[in-house]
Chains A and B, each alone.
Chain A
Amino acid sequence: MKVVVCVKQVPDTAGGVKFNPDGTLDRGAMLTIMNPDDKAGLEAALRLKDQYGAEVTVVTMGLPKAEEVLREAMAMGADKGVLVTDRVLGGADTWATSTTLAGAIRNLEYDLIITGRQAIDGDTAQVGPQISEHLDIPVISYAQDIKIEGDSVVVERQYEDRYHVVKAKMPCLITALSELNEPRYMTPGGIFDAYQKEITVWGRADLKDVDDSNLGLKGSPTKIAKASDKVRKGAGEKVTLDPDESVSYIVDKLKVKHVI
């Protein structure tokens, strides 16, 4: 069984966010982590490896620095890493990103593709399902549990107040929730081994069956009008009142500010 896991290096939200003049994120200038949903997807793949002996290949698209998340994934137990990096791929929205990743994955053998549900920097939840469309395979999103039954996967798909049990024949794509599992730690020896391994680096020329018009900033239909960091608020006002008093207190405040 071969599993491909897509991971993204995202800004560590604890470390502050910086932007380029065009409104895209200045990824080179920020502290980074592996996107939490993707890490859960990787853990799910590693559990399939533990259980069924699956081979796990991790794919990421990003700056050369994104190699770090591949090393981290390999230090956790992934077998191979593929970094897709090229200047012409920069500034990609979800459409251009999914086109690029699908172009890379076409070069790989897979029974299962696992992506995170969404990344904490974009929060779109579009890339995983779009990859499945490009590759013409079924997708099961929001997975909270994954099991293998013969040549199929059985997935619990999460809803707000319930879950559906969905079965699909492989090859297929699953998007994982961070609630899916508790990702394992790396091991010290695993880290040093990961840095000894070769990482496959692909550029635009290595992508299969993709058109330049669908890549990078130029191939991105999404235009960012404005981006900003969280606006820092003041300490606010703290009052201790009983529930009835606090309702009238808040209503008075809102009236003064002409909100109501």
Chain B
Amino acid sequence: MDFMLSKEHEMARALFKEFAEKEVKPLAQEVDETEAFPRGTVEKMAKLGFLGIPVPKEYGGQGCDPLTYAMCVEELSKVCGTTGVIVSAHTSLCCDPIMTYGTEEQKQKYLVPLAKGEKLGAFGLTEPGAGTDAQGQQTKAVLEGDEWVLNGSKCFITNGKEADVYVIFAITGTVEKRGRMQKEISAFIVEKGTPGFTFGTKEKKMGIRGSSTYELIFTDCRIPKDNMLGQQGKGFNIAMHTLDGGRIGIASQALGLAEGALENTIAYVKERKQFGRAIGAFQNTQFQLADMATKVEAAQLLVYKAAMAKATQKVYSVEAAKAKLYAAEVAMEVTTKAVQLHGGYGYIREYDVERMMRDAKITEIYEGTSEVQRMVISGALLK
């Protein structure tokens, strides 16, 4: 067993870190304050291939492994949680299912421009009545001739209005399962600009405020028959498998937020003086930092392990669930402690830890709440 990163991974991390420090960090506060989607940063990342890191080269990607991708989201999130989730949602939730379930034509038409960053991707599963209960879908797709007609709405969609390509889930019928009638769910690729596809309200959020979170509305939205992703009726499986990968992205985002908060706090406690001493000289501070650093490293090991599992295993649900559960809870704990160690200044928006604490909360909620992760983990234990 070897816990050393390869030289390639080390160099990739140095690249992501340099980019994050130079291009992302200077904008983080403004992006949060103004809730402005960082389009310029996305264009820069597209040029450098950051929007197609795990996509094979023949489909316009960088051909790197999931660990390299995870480190990219981690380093971006260290300085800006918004930028981290833009890359994560695009890559894990849109590129990945098209790469895994798409036909060759779909890959050429959608995956190539997505991986090159010419187009941005999003994923629509959640509905007002279907959160953790993903089976509670109401959006319907009916086949009329050569077209599917979509009706319904999706909510809390990351990259909502900024994306160009959407992976959307809808009911295509009912099937009998163990004597009960169940909804048959299928996945579709929908392009922005398709008549009948509009946007609802923009959500005003606690954190990751620069990420574009919208309601998607489908009113007699007609898409070509060929835009079904994967087999009819396999939508639920596609969604769950996609979310396994997505959880590694969000776990990386959570990890980055925790690391960023820890780094900020270490610098702060060396400078901030109370009672004639730097507050880092007090044992309370030292012990807090020790606990924070230990948990951050444990989270990093789980996240990297899950990323490696995605590279080498067919099924990695439990690894992904553990990584997301732990990293998200560590992110919340560490950012909260970071604010506490900053004292009053930590509550002021001028200091990055204030934003990081708000950004961290969502990692315990989206792409499966911490409770869902516990269900996945315990489900495998008691199988």
Q: Which residues of A are in contact with B by a Cβ distance under 8 Å?
A: 68, 71-72, 75, 185-189, 191-192, 195
- Could you name 8 residue pairs across A and B whose Cβ atoms are closer than 8 Å? A71-B7, A71-B11, A75-B11, A185-B15, A185-B19, A186-B11, A188-B15, A192-B63
Contact with A along B1-41 (1 / 0, CB 8 A): 00000011001100100110000000000000000000000
Contact A191 B19, beta carbon cutoff 8 Å = no
B95 to chain A, nearest CB (A): 14
Tell me which residues across on chain A come within 8 A of B8, comparing CB atoms: 191-192, 195
Tell me which residues across on chain B come within 8 A of A71, comparing CB atoms: 7, 11
Tell me which residues across on chain A come within 8 A of B64, comparing CB atoms: 188-189, 192
A257 to chain B, nearest CB (A): 29
Tell me which residues across on chain B come within 8 A of A75, comparing CB atoms: 11, 15
Q: Interface majority SS on B: helix, strand, loop or mixed? A: helix
Tell me which residues across on chain B come within 8 A of A191, comparing CB atoms: 8, 11-12, 15
Q: Which of A68, A186, A195 contacts B15 (CB 8 A)?
A: A186
Additional pairs, 8, CB under 8 Å, beyond known A189-B62, A195-B8: A68-B11, A186-B15, A188-B48, A188-B72, A189-B63, A189-B64, A191-B15, A192-B68
Q: With the chains together, A188 CA to B64 CA distance in Å?
A: 7
Contact B11 A185, beta carbon cutoff 8 Å = no
Q: With the chains together, A189 CA to B53 CA distance in Å?
A: 7
A71-B7, A71-B11, A195-B7 known; A188+B18 contact, CB < 8 A: no
Q: With the chains together, A210 CA to B130 CA distance in Å?
A: 76
Contact A188 B7, beta carbon cutoff 8 Å = no
Contact A189 B49, beta carbon cutoff 8 Å = yes
Q: Which of A72, A188, A195 contacts B62 (CB 8 A)?
A: A188
Contact B53 A188, beta carbon cutoff 8 Å = yes
Which residue of B50, B62, B68 has the most chain A CB atoms within 10 A of its CB atom?
B62
Q: With the chains together, A71 CA to B64 CA distance in Å?
A: 16
Contact with A along B226-257 (1 / 0, CB 8 A): 00000000000000000000000000000000
Contact A187 B11, beta carbon cutoff 8 Å = no
Q: Interface majority SS on A: helix, strand, loop or mixed? A: helix
Tell me which residues across on chain A come within 8 A of B7, comparing CB atoms: 68, 71, 195
A233 to chain B, nearest CB (A): 18
Q: For this complex, into which size category does the number of interface residues on chain B fall?
A: 10 to 19
Tell me which residues across on chain A come within 8 A of B63, comparing CB atoms: 189, 192
Q: With the chains together, A72 CA to B50 CA distance in Å?
A: 17
Residue of B nearest to A33 (CB): B14
Contact with A along B44-60 (1 / 0, CB 8 A): 00001110010001000
**Top 6 nearest A-B pairs by Cβ distance?**
A189-B62, A188-B62, A187-B49, A195-B8, A191-B11, A188-B64
Tell me which residues across on chain B come within 8 A of A68, comparing CB atoms: 7, 11
Q: Which residues of B are in contact with A by a Cβ distance under 8 Å?
A: 7-8, 11-12, 15, 18-19, 48-50, 53, 57, 61-64, 68, 72
Contact A188 B50, beta carbon cutoff 8 Å = yes
Q: Which of A185, A187, A189 contacts B18 (CB 8 A)?
A: A185
Tell me which residues across on chain B come within 8 A of A187, comparing CB atoms: 15, 48-49, 62
Tell me which residues across on chain B come within 8 A of A192, comparing CB atoms: 8, 12, 62-64, 68
Q: With the chains together, A189 CA to B200 CA distance in Å?
A: 38
A63 to chain B, nearest CB (A): 15
Q: With the chains together, A185 CA to B19 CA distance in Å?
A: 8
Q: With the chains together, A72 CA to B49 CA distance in Å?
A: 16
Q: With the chains together, A25 CA to B323 CA distance in Å?
A: 43
B67 to chain A, nearest CB (A): 11
Contact B19 A188, beta carbon cutoff 8 Å = no
Residue of A nearest to B18 (CB): A185
Q: With the chains together, A68 CA to B8 CA distance in Å?
A: 10
Q: With the chains together, A185 CA to B63 CA distance in Å?
A: 17
Residue of A nearest to B68 (CB): A188
Contact B57 A189, beta carbon cutoff 8 Å = yes
Residue of B nearest to A187 (CB): B49
Q: With the chains together, A106 CA to B128 CA distance in Å?
A: 71
Q: With the chains together, A185 CA to B72 CA distance in Å?
A: 14
Q: With the chains together, A192 CA to B8 CA distance in Å?
A: 6
Q: With the chains together, A186 CA to B19 CA distance in Å?
A: 10
Tell me which residues across on chain A come within 8 A of B18, comparing CB atoms: 185
B370 to chain A, nearest CB (A): 30
Q: With the chains together, A68 CA to B68 CA distance in Å?
A: 18
Tell me which residues across on chain A come within 8 A of B62, comparing CB atoms: 187-189, 192
A31 to chain B, nearest CB (A): 11
Tell me which residues across on chain B come within 8 A of A189, comparing CB atoms: 49, 57, 61-64
Residue of B nearest to A67 (CB): B7
